[in-house]
Copies of this chain bind each other. A is one copy, B any other.
Amino acid sequence: MMNDYLLALDFGGTKLSAAVLPVSELQKETPTWLAHDRAYLRKGKDAQFEIKKMIKLGRKLLDGKRPLSVGVSFGGPVNYEKGLVLLSDHVPGWENTPLQAILTEEFAAPVRVDNDANVAALGEWRFGAGRGYDSLFYVTVSTGVGGGWVLNGRCWRGHEGMAGEIGHVVVEPNGPFCFCGKQGCVERLASGPYMAQDFLERGGEFISGPVTGEVIAGLASAGDALAWGILQRGGKALGLALGETANLLNPQAFILGGGVTKSGWLWWESVEKGAKLRAREQVHFEIIPAAFTDDAPLWGAVALVEDLKDEG
């Protein structure tokens, strides 16, 4: 049929992305977007502005076609069952926004909205590094650390949508304080901004421009002992939490994405070591890099609604 298209939307922290996929592409080994575009966000805008801008972007890409369904990734907490965005840490005005209802009316098609970690997990499982696995935990290590579950080939969100909070698992009970109030959380030790903070506080040499996780990784690769120590500690902290998670849930694979995972083999080795230290000998798993960088939420948004086409 002429109108067999899915619309994928991604409300990111700094940009909006949208894409249209012909349903016929779903059967292919490497599906290809019919249309794809993004819009960068300036500061000072609110939820209303973002929603209008996204609708405009979607309409442009659809070019008059009516979508069979609309999948939406949102960079913040979402009540999936009710289709509500709960809030955004980046943009004001998102509190309890009925995004599913708004977009259903706008595009006259069934809509599903979920948070970016769950959606990225689905995207990697359906189209990326997680293809062929029945159970996986996707973890993004970037400004924050968060995760999403796919169990039995379905997203596991938890009873109030809070599952996947690996960022605040404690691995150093006497470690440094995290904004969450606890000490030695994974996010406190392994996220880009906290690694940068540790570097500067411990007298790391001044570098022009902002100190990010990638800068720490670059310095570590270049032989900076302080940077290397911080990177190793962060990788190990994440690994320890993955090992505990493996003991508790026994998934087949952990898929790691986000900026900090671009830190090179030193970092990956620390993660592997930490995981092996904590997982029981009989508990097996793989730790693999995510296939997608920017597009994981859009592909996940497709996976979120590809089975809805019969409802529509």
Contacts and interface: CB of A to CB of B under 8 A. Distances in A.
A244 interface: yes
A169 interface: yes
Contacts of A77: 282
B251 A165 contact: no
Contacts of A170: 240, 244, 278
Interface stretch (A7-15, A61-69, A150-158, A201-209): A150-158
Contact of A252 (B159, B277, B284): B159
A162 interface: yes
Given A156-B151, A180-B280, A169 B248 contact: yes
Interface string A47-80: 0000000000000000000000000000001000
A85 B300 CA distance: 39
A158 B135 contact: yes
B163 A249 contact: yes
A162 B280 contact: yes
Contacts of A172: 173
Contacts of A161: 250
Main secondary structure of the interface of A (DSSP, over half): loop
Contacts of A251: 158-159
A249 B250 contact: no
Contacts of A165: 247-248, 250, 280, 283
A164 B248 contact: yes
Nearest to A158: B250
A231 interface: no
Interface in A256-312: 277-278, 280, 282-284
Contact of A248 (B152, B154, B248, B282): B248
A178 to B, nearest CB: 11
B280 A247 contact: no
B160 A250 contact: yes
Contacts of A154: 152
Nearest to A163: B250
Given A173-B172, A280-B168, A249 B158 contact: yes
A245 interface: yes
Interface in A123-178: 134-135, 147, 149, 151-152, 154, 156-166, 168-173
19 contacts: A77-B282, A134-B159, A147-B248, A151-B151, A152-B154, A152-B156, A157-B250, A158-B250, A160-B250, A160-B282, A162-B280, A164-B248, A165-B248, A166-B248, A171-B173, A180-B280, A182-B277, A182-B278, A249-B249
